[in-house]
A = this chain, B = another copy of it.
Amino acid sequence: MKNFSFKLVKNDHEARLGLISTPHGKIETPVFMPVGTLGSVKTASPDEVAELGAQIILANNYHLYLRPGVDIIAKAGGIHRFISWERPILTDSGGFQVFSLGRGNKNDRSLVKINEKGVEFRSHLDGSTHRFTPENVIRMQEKIGADIIMCLDECAPHDSDYNYARDAMERTHNWAIKCLTEHKKNERKSDQGLYQAIFGIIQGVIYDDLRIQSARFISEQDFDGIAIGGLSVGESKDEMHHILESIEPLLPKDKPRYLMGVGSPEDLLAGVERGIDMFDCVLATRIARNGTVWTRKGKLNLNNAAFSADFQPIEKKCCCYACQNFSRAYVAHLLRGREILGIRLTTLHNLHFIMRLMDEIRESIREDRFTDYKKDFLHDFLK
């Protein structure tokens, strides 16, 4: 039985309110997915992530394949059991990570060899050689057993020339078909016997005509959802917005749309405004580990000396565990002392901030006032 569906509840201009159903429960969209690359949202326990209101989390096939290995996860009874998370999970194929390996300090592409059949790469852990193909990343993700899996794609650099961008897009399209074919062999089930949705990925760097061509191609295939890759990787905000606007009319209304790797508060709002339903990003948790927290009035770096005698909570009226129990001074003290509780608290706060933002976004769409909500939020946040 195909127990995956997307229902478009309503529009407010281009912004969409929707509902995704998966074998592990429903997801109200627009949704932000916290990232648990290795199977844990960094510093947080699954109980805490659920408590924050996360409806779905993301894990990464590249990292899980290398460690602990997809067979270990299959033996554990699948990713949900392995990491003790009962709600939906999405796995990225790992294509993005593999292609990022080729962009080290010296743009050393020797680490990654691409051809039509797939990509060969060296593990960032021990330098060993591995190969990802459209077919094997699907098999790996079936073993892992997430609710939503992704095609192998080539995320070309934002400054790729037109010809390279076109070649990478065409490879991505060919791989998309191969992924779908492979996925159908197993009747679209994970090795744990549950239906897995599969999303195709639109590429094309910053070239309008490529993005439009890619949007058309991916939309025509029998995918459960449509992802947009290769954005927020160095291009300007205007370029990103323009691309999203160019392709929006071409995307099927009845499938969820996932903007990959995007997640600053302003980018979430910009994405929702342009019809996006799903987002993921490490930003909230990464800046937290650096001592940076988001508030309605912009961001603060708690390492600044001024906070060492500031006995207010990180944010007044915030009801996260950090703000309900601790002062900026204490969190700053923990950060300076490299106490793990410090980065746990900033992480919880930032994720709570994003979850609350998404709640409010959905509420504003429901009430046909998303545009005003966005304006008001950014007025305070960016001032």
Contact = CB atoms under 8 A, between A and B. Distances in A.
Given A82-B330, A327-B82, A334-B40, A308 B72 contact: yes
Contacts of A339: 38-40, 42
A67 B311 contact: no
Given A325-B46, A330-B82, A72 B341 contact: no
Interface residues of A, number: 38
Contact of A311 (B42, B76, B337): B76
B38 A333 contact: yes
B330 A340 contact: no
Interface string A45-66: 1110000000000000001000
Interface string A300-328: 00000000110100000000010001110
Contact of A308 (B68, B329, B340): B68
Contacts of A45: 321, 341, 344
Contacts of A309: 72, 75
Give this chain's copy count.
2
Contacts of A332: 68
A83 interface: yes
A38 B72 contact: no
A110 interface: no
Nearest to A66: B337
A308 B69 CA distance: 10
A341 B43 contact: yes
Contact of A38 (B46, B67, B325, B337): B337
Contacts of A210: none
A44 interface: yes
A344 B340 CA distance: 9
A181 interface: no
A336 interface: yes
A329 B40 contact: no
B40 A341 contact: yes
B75 A311 contact: yes
A84 interface: yes
Return the 10 tightest CB-CB contacts between A and B, nearest first: A84-B325, A68-B333, A40-B341, A38-B337, A43-B340, A40-B339, A38-B339, A82-B330, A84-B326, A76-B311
Interface of A: 38-40, 42-47, 63, 67-68, 72, 75-76, 82-84, 308-309, 311, 321, 325-327, 329-330, 332-334, 336-337, 339-344
20 contacts: A38-B334, A38-B337, A38-B339, A39-B339, A43-B341, A45-B321, A45-B341, A67-B333, A67-B336, A67-B337, A68-B308, A68-B329, A68-B333, A68-B336, A72-B308, A76-B311, A76-B327, A76-B329, A82-B330, A340-B340
Given A68-B308, A72-B309, 12 more contacts: A38-B334, A38-B337, A39-B334, A40-B342, A47-B325, A63-B337, A67-B336, A68-B333, A75-B309, A76-B311, A76-B330, A84-B330
